[in-house]
């Protein structure tokens, strides 16, 4: 095979503020339909980045801008360059001239594992990008909870000095596992009202707590924030950082009008005061 015969194209990894990946259901009429990120072949003299932007528009209806090139998947007969892209306009509506696109979806990490992929070798890298931070600050980041987080969460949820300030008693391992399973189930709800996110320390990437934004009243745009941090990290400002990111997320992403929190000890009261809550 000569260089001129080699198939060259681009693919877009596009993740929204909800931590969901843009995917398309595609395939020829006589084939089983499978899922992939928007992708396609270069045309004429366009660059790989220009190809990526065009393919996303044609396959999904969204207008994107390229953030960065991520990696290149190359074999003897093809070369595909993957780009991190951000939606800046448009709406979900396939305009594929080849008429090979059957659905456009934003897909969560949990849903990705249930989909039959066109390119199964992409599963690991897509998982990695879906696990990237949803919210980030100086010392920590917040991401979607994973089932394996239960051990880190249990390390403080079983501690009486933590539970004394909560509505629950010290948790058993089974209860901590069930708690995380419920978080994951709530994250997959069609109309999501609960954003319970793992609080991850930047340097160690250790889960040190959970921060929550709950939408209590959509009509009046009211939300509530809550947080629990491992006692080893008390007094370091981490609860303040996590709560601040959740409040910003609520106001900017969900257009909330009012966000409140409750507390029953001085530490949480100081966090709220630092954030300007009254």
Backbone angles phi, psi at 204, to 5 degrees: -95, -15
Which domain-ending residue is among 108, 130, 152? 130
Average pLDDT, the chain: 88
Cβ contact 25:33 at 8 Å: yes
In 3D space, the residue among 234, 238, 18, 211 whose CA is nearest the CA of residue 140 turns out to be 238
Q: Are residues 122 and 198 in the same domain?
A: no
pLDDT at 133 over 70: no
Of residues 32 and 270, the one with the higher pLDDT is: 32
Residues 110 and 224 placed together within one structural domain of the fold: no
Average pLDDT over residues 156-175: 89
- Does 151 score more than 60 pLDDT? yes
Q: Are residues 216 and 140 in the same domain?
A: yes
Looking at residue 119, its pLDDT comes to 93
Predicted pLDDT of residue 4: 67
The CATH number of residue 257's host domain is 3.40.630.30
Number of domains observed in the structure of the chain: 2
Looking at the structure, tell me whether residues 112 and 178 fall in a common domain.
no
Range of the domain at 31: 3-130
Q: For residue 268, what are the contacts with CB-CB under 8 A and spacing of at least 6?
A: 165, 239, 261
Residues 6+ apart with CB under 8 A from 212: 194, 195, 196, 197, 224, 225, 226, 227, 246
Of 220, 217, 197, 216, the C-alpha closest to 208 is 197
**Residue 212 scores a pLDDT above 60:** yes
Do 200 and 88 sit in the same domain of this protein?
Answer: no
Nearest 5°: phi and psi at 34? -135, 170
Of 7-11, 18-22, 81-85, minimum mean pLDDT range = 18-22
Are 19 and 32 in a shared domain?
A: yes
Note the pLDDT of residue 205: 80
Question: What is the DSSP secondary structure assignment for residue 35, as one 8-state letter?
Answer: E
75 with 203, same domain: the answer is: no
Neighbours of 278 (CB within 10 A): 5
- Claim to verify: residue 54 and residue 155 sit in the same structural domain: no
What pLDDT was estimated at residue 1?
46
- As a whole number, mean pLDDT of residues 219-227 equals 94
């Amino acid at each position: 095979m000569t260089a001129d015969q080699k198939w060259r194209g681009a693919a877009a990894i596009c993740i929204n503020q909800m931590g969901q990946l843009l995917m398309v259901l595609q395939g020829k009429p006589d084939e089983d339909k499978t899922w992939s990120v928007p992708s396609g072949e270069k045309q004429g003299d366009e660059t790989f980045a220009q190809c990526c932007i065009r393919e996303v528009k044609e396959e999904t209806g969204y207008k994107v801008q390229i953030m960065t090139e991520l990696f290149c998947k190359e074999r003897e007969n093809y070369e595909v360059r993957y780009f991190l892209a951000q939606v800046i306009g448009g709406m979900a509506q396939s305009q594929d001239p080849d008429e090979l696109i059957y659905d456009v979806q934003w897909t969560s990490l949990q849903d990705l594992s249930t989909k039959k992929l066109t390119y199964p070798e992409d599963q690991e890298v897509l998982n990695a990008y879906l696990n990237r931070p949803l919210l980030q600050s100086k010392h920590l980041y917040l991401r979607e909870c994973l089932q394996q987080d239960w051990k880190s969460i249990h390390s403080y949820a079983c501690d009486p000095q933590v539970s004394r300030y909560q509505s629950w008693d010290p948790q058993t391992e089974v209860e901590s596992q069930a708690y995380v399973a419920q978080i994951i189930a709530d994250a997959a709800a069609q109309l999501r009202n609960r954003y319970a996110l793992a609080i991850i320390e930047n340097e160690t990437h250790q889960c040190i707590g959970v921060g929550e934004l709950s939408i209590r009243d959509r009509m009046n745009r009211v939300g509530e924030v809550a947080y629990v941090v491992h006692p080893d990290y008390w007094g370091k400002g981490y609860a303040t950082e996590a709560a601040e990111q959740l409040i910003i997320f609520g106001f900017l992403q969900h257009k909330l009008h009012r966000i409140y929190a409750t507390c029953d000890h001085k530490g949480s009261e100081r966090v709220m005061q630092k954030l300007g809550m009254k």
